[in-house]
Amino acid sequence: MSREAPVGLTFMEKLMGILMIIVGAHWFYTTYTNMGSLPVPTLLLGGALALIILGIVLLIAKFR
What are the tens digits of pLDDT across the range 4-55? 778 888 889 999 999 999 999 999 999 999 888 878 889 999 999 999 999 9
pTM score of the predicted model: 0.84
More confident residue, 3 or 27: 27
Cα 43 off chain centre by: 16
- For residue 25, the surrounding DSSP H or E stretch is helix 7-33
Q: What count of other Cβ atoms lies within 10 Å of the Cβ of residue 39?
A: 6
Identify the three-state secondary structure at position 55: helix
